[in-house]
Amino acid sequence: MAKNTKPLIIANWKMRLSVKDTLVLAKALVSSLNKYTNQADIVLCPSYPVLPLVADILKGKNIALGAQDVFWKAKGAYTGEVSGDMLKDLGVSYVLVGHSERRQYLKETDQMIQHKVASALSEGLTPVLCVGETFTERQIGSKDVVVARQVERALQGIELNVKDRLVVAYEPVWVIGSGQAVSAAEAEHSALVIKQSLVNLLPSKVVLGQVRLIYGGSVDAGNISDFLPTKVISGVLVGSASLAVDSFTALVKETT
Ligand code: PGA
């Protein structure tokens, strides 16, 4: 996988904060994370309406801005959707794609996710493709098959140019928001399954040089060191523990 010395830490704030609370948190994090921004690649993903305001707060601060979704068309009659081009204009550089909550509640299919990955890359955004099995899928023994299939379908026909970057986040659906992460060994195993799927689809030089694999699902300051660094995992996607300045700062601190 891409050899980055710095861990990638992505905060996914979901729809959990008001506009006011988002701005308060972003401002507080800019100062509390100041001394760690050279040692970790930090990305904050607020909701769409707050992106321009958070972009202003992050200006010149060495913390990247991410969006929680992207639409696959550049322009047109698509009420309610937001294009990669618009996000790029707002200063966004990462976009979450295929988060399990969107697969579940918004009925996003592998094909929609594939379109989103393609359009994000074409806009020069870094897609953070989220994959992971449900509890039932794990119980019937199809975890590896499900994860490999999600990766293969999302990246079908996708090519990465030299400048493109891709992040794949392994997020077991059943541990998201549960307070209980999977073991590092289990995360590493799934990461290896994902790596193999990537190598089946993309030139290995691209996989090794341009793709990062991260883990998400109840990561906090107490368990992050279990996941970093491992041979394949080089970052984390954080929900609950990114919603307060103390918990997120403590988590980032653990990685540096
Ligand atoms: P969590 O969320 O850290 O609260 O489990 C992770 C995610 O949904 O990306």
Structure confidence at residue 230 (pLDDT): 76
Structure confidence at residue 30 (pLDDT): 98
Q: 162 CA to middle of ligand 1, Å?
A: 30
> Which residue ranges have their beta carbon within 6 Å of ligand 1?
12, 171, 176-177, 216-219, 237-241
Structure confidence at residue 3 (pLDDT): 58
Q: 46 CA to middle of ligand 1, Å?
A: 14
Q: 223 CA to middle of ligand 1, Å?
A: 13
Q: With bands split at pLDDT 50, 70 and 90, how would you rate the model's confidence at 12?
A: very high
Q: Which of 97, 219, 243 to mutate to test the pocket of ligand 1 (most atoms within 8 A of CB)?
A: 219
Q: 203 CA to middle of ligand 1, Å?
A: 30
Give me the DSSP letters along the chain.
Answer: ----SSPEEEEE-TT-S-HHHHHHHHHHHHHHSGGGTTTSEEEEE--GGGHHHHHHHHTTSS-EEEES--BS-SSSS-TT--BHHHHHHTTEEEEEES-HHHHHHS---HHHHHHHHHHHHHTT-EEEEEE---HHHHHTT-HHHHHHHHHHHHTTT----TT--EEEEE--GGGTTTS-PPPHHHHHHHHHHHHHHHHHHS-HHHHHHHEEEEEESS--TTTHHHHSS-SSEEEEEESGGGSSHHHHHHHHHHT-
Which ligand 1 atom minimizes the distance to the CA of 169? 9
Structure confidence at residue 1 (pLDDT): 66
115 is catalytic: no
Q: With bands split at pLDDT 50, 70 and 90, how would you rate the model's confidence at 229?
A: confident
Q: Which of 101, 123, 171, 188 is catalytic?
A: 171
Task: Using the predicted structure, report yes or no on whether residue 93 has a pLDDT greater than 80.
Answer: yes
Task: Using the predicted structure, report yes or no on whether residue 2 has a pLDDT greater than 70.
Answer: no
Q: Which of 99, 101, 137, 188 is catalytic?
A: 99
Q: What tens digit of pLDDT does each residue of 96-149 get?
A: 999 999 999 999 999 999 999 999 999 999 999 999 999 999 999 999 999 999
Structure confidence at residue 256 (pLDDT): 76
Mean per-residue pLDDT over the chain, rounded: 96
Which residue's CA is the nearest one to ligand 1's atom 6?
239
Structure confidence at residue 4 (pLDDT): 60
99 is catalytic: yes
